[in-house]
């Protein structure tokens, strides 16, 4: 795979990053950030599949290279100076979301610690060793780049009322909202997680991306129709990034009609099956297959827990034990981020 690296000559992250990249990837193009627009044009015209942007390149990020090249895998370096690990995480998470990065490699000058931040709002790394941390980053780049994504045919229009879903689905969502399961602390005003309900074999109502799920009873949901593998979305916003996983689960379990996914930690002692999220970016086909492979049955409820991410749960509108299941297995008042 070909890698492009963007550097600011005044940066201080690591003067030897180019040599690390050459050892790991072989084919590396180096772009010095003198003219940001030209830099983006040249990378876009190259064969680069991965773009690594070192610190101090804010002008490059303002060009939004993934806006015109959504298939590029964008990794950015960030430097923060925060007292706590949580504040370190939240600062770099906002940086990731603002710049539409696939990964952020973040160094805290106060703690002398490196973190790797993901779009799922998870933390990896944590070492004070640059060599150990950069090695972990490169492994995640290799695992996560080149994954499979379904592009959506988006048809803007009115949202679909949550009143069109089952009473049980609405009751569970209201419970999650009241418990504080959908939390806003990622710096962009949106809530992570997703949910959906089946309409028929090829369509479902899905939560929306770039939305506050706590407002779903006012704002509604998007309609997703899947025909011959093509996703078409109707509504004011695109469907959840997790819609691919949603459809895979609905397709495999035709007797189930409801799915919820939150970013809440699992309780100690819970027997819910756990699988690793680390090699997969949320929204990819591979992430969906990983989730599907982790599903187990718990008295008529299907569930798995994605480590450092959160639970995926399927239930039937006729099932009466879903709220007890949530209470017994998850802390809905906290966010997963490092658990």
DSSP 34-46: SSHHHHHHHHHHS
241-275 residue pLDDT tens = 999 999 999 999 999 999 999 999 999 999 999 99
Q: Percent of the chain beyond pLDDT 70?
A: 96
140 plus 164 within the same structural domain: no
Strands (E), 167-294: 194-200, 203-206, 222-227, 230-235, 258-261, 274-275
Lowest mean pLDDT among 2-11, 72-81, 167-176, 217-226: 2-11
- Residue 32 domain boundaries: 2-144
Residue 297 lies in a domain: yes
Q: Count Cβ atoms within 10 A of the Cβ of residue 83 and give its class: 0-12 exposed, 13-18 middle, 19 or more buried.
A: exposed
134 plus 240 within the same structural domain: no
Boundary residue ending a domain (144, 168, 197) = 144
Mean pLDDT over the full length of the chain: 92
Residue 204 lies in a domain: yes
pLDDT of residue 12: 54
Q: Count Cβ atoms within 10 A of the Cβ of residue 32 and give its class: 0-12 exposed, 13-18 middle, 19 or more buried.
A: exposed
With a cut of 70, say whether residue 14 has pLDDT above it.
no
The number of folded domains in the chain is: 2
Q: Read off the pLDDT band of 11 (50, 70, 90).
A: low
Boundary residue ending a domain (144, 165, 190) = 144
Report the interhelical angle of 243-252 vs 285-294 (nearest 10°).
Answer: 40
pLDDT of residue 186: 67
CATH number at residue 168: 3.40.225.10
pLDDT of residue 10: 59
CATH number at residue 74: 3.40.50.10300
Give the residue among 113, 111, 93, 112 at the shortest CA–CA distance from 103: 93
Cβ(162)–Cβ(221) under 8 Å?
Answer: yes
Residue 43, both tokens: 């990378």
Average the pLDDT over 151-176 and give the result.
96
User: How far is Cα 310 from Cα 262, in angstroms, rounded to an integer?
Assistant: 6
User: How far is Cα 47 from Cα 98, in angstroms, rounded to an integer?
Assistant: 25
Strand 230-235, strand 258-261: pairing: unpaired
Residue 258 lies in a domain: yes
Q: What pTM value is reported for the model?
A: 0.92
User: How far is Cα 200 from Cα 135, in angstroms, rounded to an integer?
Assistant: 46
Cα separation of the two ends of the chain: 32
Q: Read off the pLDDT band of 8 (50, 70, 90).
A: confident
- The owner of tokens 């229009």 is 157
Length of the chain: 339
Helical (H) or strand (E) element with 193? none
Q: Read off the pLDDT band of 28 (50, 70, 90).
A: confident
């Amino acid at each position: 795979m070909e890698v492009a690296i963007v550097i600011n000559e005044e940066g201080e992250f690591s003067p030897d990053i180019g040599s690390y990249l050459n050892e790991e990837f072989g084919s590396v193009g180096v772009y010095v950030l003198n003219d940001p627009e030209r830099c983006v044009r040249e990378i876009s015209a190259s064969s680069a599949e991965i773009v690594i942007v070192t610190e101090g390149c804010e002008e490059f990020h303002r060009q939004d290279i993934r806006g015109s090249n959504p298939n590029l895998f964008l990794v950015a370096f960030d430097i923060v100076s925060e007292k706590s690990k949580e504040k370190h995480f939240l600062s770099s998470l906002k940086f990731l979301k603002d710049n539409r990065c696939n990964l952020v490699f973040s160094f805290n000058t106060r703690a002398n610690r490196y973190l790797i931040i993901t779009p799922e709002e998870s933390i990896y790394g944590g070492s004070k060793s640059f060599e150990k941390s950069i090695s972990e980053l490169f492994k995640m780049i290799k695992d996560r780049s080149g994954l499979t994504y379904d592009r959506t045919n988006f048809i803007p229009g009115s949202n679909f009322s949550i009143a069109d879903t089952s009473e049980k689905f609405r009751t569970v969502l209201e419970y999650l909202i009241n418990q504080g399961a959908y939390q806003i602390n990622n710096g962009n005003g949106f809530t992570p997680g997703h949910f959906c309900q089946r309409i028929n074999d090829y369509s479902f109502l899905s939560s929306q991306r770039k939305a506050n799920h706590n407002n779903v009873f006012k704002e509604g949901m998007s309609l997703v129709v899947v025909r011959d593998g093509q996703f078409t979305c109707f509504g004011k916003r695109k469907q959840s990034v997790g819609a691919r996983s949603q459809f895979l689960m609905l397709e495999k379990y035709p007797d189930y009609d409801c799915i919820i996914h939150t970013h809440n930690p699992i309780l100690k002692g819970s027997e819910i099956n756990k699988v690793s999220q680390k090699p997969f970016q949320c929204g990819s086909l591979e992430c969906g297959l990983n989730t599907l492979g982790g599903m187990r049955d718990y008295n008529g409820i299907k569930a798995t827990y994605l480590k450092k991410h959160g639970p995926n749960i399927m239930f039937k509108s006729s099932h009466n034990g879903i709220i007890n299941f949530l209470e017994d297995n998850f802390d809905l008042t906290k966010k997963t981020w490092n658990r």
